[in-house]
Chain A
Amino acid sequence: MKQEALTVVTPIDPERVEALSDFLTAIGDDVTRNEHVPFGDLKTVHFARWVILPARESETGGAPYPPQLVYSCSLDGTAQEHVAELLREARAGVDRIYGHCLGFPTGADATAVQVAAYLLGHAVRPSIFFVGMQGLTVARVHEDARLREAIEEHLDAEGARSGHFAGATPADVRTSIREHVAADPSLTREPVGPGPAPFRWYHWAGLVLATLPLLPFVVLLGGLVRLEELGDRRREGRARGAGGGKGAALSASEPHVAPSGPTELDEGPDDPRRRLDENIRAVTEREDQQVQNQLSHVVEVKPGWLRAAVLALILPVLDFGARRIYNQGDLLGVRTLHFVRWVMIDGGRRLMFLTNYDGSMLAYIGDFVHRSWQVPSVLTAIWTNTLRFPPSRWLVLDGARDVPRFTAFLREHAVPTQVWYSAYKGVTAGNKLNNDRIRRGLAGELGEEETRVWLRRF
């Protein structure tokens, strides 16, 4: 069964934003046991969140953004099936939440069909949807975890009995495990499907040939972007050189690049960074409650046709890569991602980023930036088209590699998320991958080296 994304963006009644925030926060404070949305009964959900995008002024001269509610879910099966399940299990909660939104069918005779139509009608297709382990359902995540635990306990018990498997070969140990698993009916299940087909060299060749016609556009756009980058750099240099107060530092979160003027031992003007610090505090206060973390992030796209064209070109290409190539637990050395999506909202004026990952934010960013050259290039290529991202060079260089500014970019445009649910709180992406390989290694014949590798998974 495939994993899909559902992203529902609905306008909130401006008078009722705070009431909705309070209600959602109450749910989010006790996500697993709250009485309004029994997430535990939703079998199709890997991760789900409700996040309020507050009303905001536009910095690009466009109309202000009204308050909106985003429901984002990473699910098994189809969006229709998921919405049907959501309404079956949590109709009252859904009614209450969306009663705060404009256009929602309220009233005693609003049918499930109408509500489903409202939700699906407000669904936005993500430009990029990355699934860490394509084909792995929620049910199997739980079953694989149980299987692994059972085997670990068996190995402990057998090990104690046999002097830590003294004299046993790897094949002996595997046989012992297989026998134990076969004897336990609660551990058996239907055979697992083969998993997504790997991307082979001829697929790469085909991909290159297919995208070759785009090359002139790529070169043209790349050149135009480069010109714009150079212009931006010159402008930023001028602004900084003009010196004076902290205002010059607004576009770049660089506390250590000292503007000329009074030193910090004198009283300074009110720091605009203080407002951003409040946002950072609100966001970090909810981090690290458990091993997994989430981030909701919204930023304006740079105005103009050039940036829109760049995004229109690269987002589908990256989406193809996410769906077809990097979908088996390892994104070029990064193994901490569960589900990630980029969604264009507000008529293409803003780019939303929603992610579910393992470990701390700092480790997450470090993972992205330091383990390969491709991943920071991809992130830079996407976000350099938005405001306040650290400047890129040739679209893919620099940018995200400036870790302090990249971190500031992520934190300052992060949106505090009221409700966040994970169906398997203690299971990391690495665990999912390892558990899957454990299950697959139970079946069939394995050579000696393969058996050794498999046994190292315990």
Chain B
Amino acid sequence: MSARAVELGDIQGLLRFGYGALRHARFLMLRIDEPAAARLWLRTLADSVTTARDHELGDRATSVALTHRGLARLGLPSAALAAFPREMQEGMTAPHRRRVLGDFGSSDPSRWSWGGPRNEPVHAALLLYARSPGRLEEAISAQRAAFAGGCTVVAELDTRRLPSRKEHFGFRDGIAQPEIRGFWDHRPDEPVVATGEFVLGYENESGRLAEAPRDLGRNGSYLVVRQLEQHVRRFWTFLDEATRNGDGSSDQEARTALASKMVGRWPSGAPLVSHPDHDPHAGAAEGDLPADEELDRFLYHDADPHGYRCPIGSHVRRSNPRDALEPSPGVSLRNLSQHRIVRRGRAYGSPIAESMAPSDILASDVEDGGRGLHFLCFNTDLGRQFEFVQQSWINSPKFESVLYDSADPITGAHDERWPHFTGTFSVEAEPVRRRVTGVPRFVDVRGGAYFFMPGIRALRRLAEAE
């Protein structure tokens, strides 16, 4: 398999750009009612979908993706349908997959608002980004007119930009992203991940092609969408109670510190490994915050092998262990490159307090519900990348055979049915750890699906009438 140049013009732009400058976005989940009409719509859409070559960002961006059921609905022959990987064919809500992803109890798909067995089928996702609310509404109206008769909207996922790129718990999000070979010019010291880990049709980290139909798959990717509802009040209430002073008063500093220990970064995004004692950017204005690359440049093995700075069970350390896996840092980093994802999530719902400050959140009388993260990520091997991270690192109470009953304290699934999911979190310290018990579930899944995001040529072929 010889390396070939990445065909940026044929890849949908969302794989390469986060569209951070397009602060307004909405994701429409569609059901295909009339395949012929839907195909006509896709043909026109193929001309306006944003590609990875479109550096000059206008005031809009468009992306489209289809579920396996959607592809079947469009009339894709069974041979092509069978060429998709097992995860795509079975879908996100297959019973075995629920165990893998932690979608049980309060996150069971039967309770979802979309994408679940009780909801309307989701056949396609239309992702629209714009610079202003007005532009966004224009784009949405235009698309509604274009797919009218062919598709119906079964879920409309609005998004919201929070201050300082934070998510609803108050922590800067989306910092660590993999360097994808062929997407940008790379600095010599930058670790780069094979293109094929994120774009179908190119060699992945094993030197092979990921599973997909040979022609249809080229320059496409698999998109994971999950609506994650965040129980913000529950989160800060738990932390407040866990850090109370002897006299029952709140200890704001300890509260934020414990939350940061759980995340692995301070609210500003500064990693605990580099700044173990206090947030170097606390209270900084949005414009003064360092860029993602600054905040992403750290390793664990030398600076913090025992987790005294960044706990071993913390969110960032377990979703991306970097050089911390056994048996050695070199092996760990090589291993890691097989489990990366590109994240494109956006927050949704109004914050409990505009300031995002825990005191204001606790003082407010706004209840939990209706806010969280629309989690989006790209990969080409769902089992080895997204699902692996979910199952073996985030949701595993045993992470790396080291822990006992500590799933990810922020996003992990703690479930009373499972005897070992009792939800503890250890803060490693000298002389001995400090342990927090009774950690409840702070995030629940409200909807989701696996999509195939085709390349532009593939999109045109899908639109061809039979």
Contacts and interface: CB of A to CB of B under 8 A. Distances in A.
A404 B392 contact: no
Nearest to A287: B96
Given A291-B396, A372-B327, A165 B431 contact: yes
A458 B428 CA distance: 9
- The majority secondary structure among interface residues of chain B is loop
Interface residues of A, number: 59
Nearest to A267: B77
A277 B216 contact: no
B108 to A, nearest CB: 16
Contacts of A456: 306, 428
Contact of B398 (A152, A265, A358, A404): A358
Interface in A323-340: 332-333, 335-336
Given A362-B384, A362-B388, A371-B327, A289 B99 contact: yes
A339 to B, nearest CB: 16
Given A333-B326, A426-B420, A458 B432 contact: yes
Interface string A253-285: 001101000011111100101100100100011
B435 interface: yes
B364 to A, nearest CB: 30
Interface in B413-440: 418-420, 426, 428-435, 437
Contacts of B77: 264-268
B414 to A, nearest CB: 14
Contacts of B95: 285
A34 interface: no
Contacts of A455: 431-432
A273 B85 CA distance: 12
Given A264-B83, A288-B99, A362 B432 contact: no
B211 A256 contact: yes
B156 interface: no
A254 B265 CA distance: 42
B186 interface: no
A78 interface: no
Nearest to A361: B383
A285 B400 CA distance: 24
Contact of B214 (A264, A332, A370, A430): A264
A245 to B, nearest CB: 11
Nearest to B433: A458
Contacts of A431: 398, 401, 404
A402 B95 CA distance: 29
B398 A430 contact: yes
B367 interface: no
Nearest to B325: A371
Interface string B192-236: 000000000000001011111111100000000000000000000
Interface in B321-340: 326-327, 331, 334-335, 338
Given A265-B80, A267-B77, A371-B331, A452 B216 contact: no
B398 A359 contact: yes
B461 to A, nearest CB: 7
B430 A170 contact: yes
A359 B390 CA distance: 12
A420 to B, nearest CB: 16
B78 interface: yes
Contact of B401 (A155, A170, A285, A358): A358
Contacts of A366: 335, 338, 384, 388
Nearest to A280: B86
Given A256-B211, A290-B418, A456-B306, A168 B431 contact: yes
B402 interface: yes
B282 interface: no
A356 B17 CA distance: 44
Given A280-B86, A458-B432, A429 B214 contact: no
B82 interface: yes
Nearest to B98: A288
A255 B211 contact: yes
A165 B216 CA distance: 62
Interface string A421-458: 00001101111001000000000000000001001101
B397 A370 contact: no
Contact of A359 (B326, B387, B396): B396
Nearest to B85: A255
Closest 10 CB pairs of A and B: A430-B401, A333-B327, A268-B79, A426-B420, A256-B209, A363-B392, A258-B214, A335-B401, A264-B80, A170-B431
Given A159-B432, A164-B429, A288-B99, 5 more contacts: A155-B435, A288-B391, A291-B398, A370-B334, A431-B404
